[in-house]
């Protein structure tokens, strides 16, 4: 019995180690020293270094970190401070469900693909479920702050 228990614990530990840093980091709360500003209003924080996104209001996190997929070399997701300027719900669209545009043609939006695979052409992709929740959280004019670069690009 002890042997079975030990093998189970080792297998579970191995599975946790096998998670990519981006996936493991998406579940972690951002530390207080994160570079995302702390304005009084809502701000979307996109950490490309760890492929995660969350929403703050002041220093309080109001939308917990989720896994995202950002752009790759040659199709970077732009760094900087932006404002949501257009929103299109499109819940059943095969592409761009729950789109919230923040700079030119770049948007925060849902993706039906595996976020751990494939590439974004510069948008911030997340699961459709997370995009729907984000849709209910943000409004036109909310701030989007993006920093870093997708690991491996």
Digit-coded pLDDT (tens) for 9-46? 434 443 333 334 444 456 566 765 689 998 899 999 99
Q: Greater confidence, 16 or 119?
A: 119
Entry pTM: 0.80
Instruction: Report the C-alpha gap between 71 and 92 in whole angstroms.
Output: 23
Buried residues in 134-148 as b, exposed as e (16+ CB within 10 A): bbeebeeebbbbbee
Domains defined along the chain, listed by start: 21-147 (2.40.440.10)
Q: Is 153 helix (H, G, I), strand (E, B) or coil?
A: coil
pLDDT at 6 over 50: no
The Cα angle at residue 106 between residues 105 and 108, in degrees rounded to 5: 135
Q: Is 117 helix (H, G, I), strand (E, B) or coil?
A: coil
Distance CA 87, CA 17 (A): 38
Look at the alpha carbons of 116, 118, 119, 125 in this order and tell me if their dihedral is positive or negative: negative
């Amino acid at each position: 019995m002890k042997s079975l228990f030990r093998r189970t614990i080792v297998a579970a530990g191995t599975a946790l180690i096998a998670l990519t840093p981006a996936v493991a980091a998406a579940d972690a709360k951002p530390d207080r020293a994160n570079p995302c500003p702390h304005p009084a209003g809502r701000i979307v924080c996109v950490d490309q270094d760890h492929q995660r996104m969350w929403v703050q209001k002041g220093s309080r996190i109001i939308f917990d970190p989720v896994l995202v997929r950002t752009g790759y070399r040659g199709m970077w997701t732009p760094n900087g401070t932006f404002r949501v300027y257009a929103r299109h719900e499109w819940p059943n669209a095969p592409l761009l469900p729950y789109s919230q545009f923040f700079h030119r043609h770049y948007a925060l939006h849902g993706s039906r693909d595996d976020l751990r695979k494939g590439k974004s052409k510069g948008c911030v992709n997340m699961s459709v479920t997370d995009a729907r929740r984000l849709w209910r959280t943000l409004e036109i004019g909310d701030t989007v702050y993006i920093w870093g670069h997708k690991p491996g690009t």
